[in-house]
Structure 1
Amino acid sequence: MTKVLFQIDPLDCTGCAKKIENQVNELNGIESVKVFPQLGKIRTTFDNKKVTIQQIEAAILQAGYPVHSKATA
């Protein structure tokens, strides 16, 4: 499993965090996704044979939140 931490702008609501989690969880190969709203961080664990970092980033953007940076954990 691959772990990546995405940095976005801090969020003010738990509903926004849930929206991101739901969007990312729709991707095949996602093991887990956890959003830390006040920190603006999204921690993901996934199978890189089934889903790419770019696909996850696109799902976050589709939820309405651009990714500022990412780092493997």
Structure 2
Amino acid sequence: MKRAILQLGALTCPSCMQKIENAVKQQAGVDKVKVLFNASKVKADFDADQTSAESLADVVEKLGYDVEKIKVK
């Protein structure tokens, strides 16, 4: 398992958090997702054989949010 940390542009409402969490959770290989509202970050544990941090960032961007930085641990 790897962990992707996506730094987003400012989140404006708590419902944004749920929208992002639900969309990322539905991706193949994603185990856990946590959206940190105040820090504007998404943390996702994923199987690198099934998806990538870049693919998860694409999902978030398709929802209309800016991904400013991607970090993988």
- TM-score in terms of structure 1 length: 0.91
Question: Do the aligned partners of 1:12 and 1:38 also contact (CA within 8 Å) in 2?
Answer: no
Q: Which has the higher strand share?
A: 2
Work out the percentage of aligned pairs sharing the same amino acid: 27
Counterpart of 1:70, as a letter, is I
Distance in 1 (CA, whole Å) between partners of 2:54 and 2:4 is: 11
Aligned-pair Cα RMSD in Å: 1.0
Offset of residue 49 of structure 1:
0.3
Secondary structure at 2:67 match in 1: coil
Question: Do the aligned partners of 1:34 and 1:42 also contact (CA within 8 Å) in 2?
Answer: yes
Secondary structure at 1:70 match in 2: strand
Match of 1:42 in 2: 42
Match of 1:72 in 2: 72
Match of 2:56 in 1: 56
User: 5+ residue gaps in structure 1?
Assistant: none
User: 5+ residue gaps in structure 2?
Assistant: none
Match of 1:5 in 2: 5
Distance in 1 (CA, whole Å) between partners of 2:61 and 2:6 is: 11
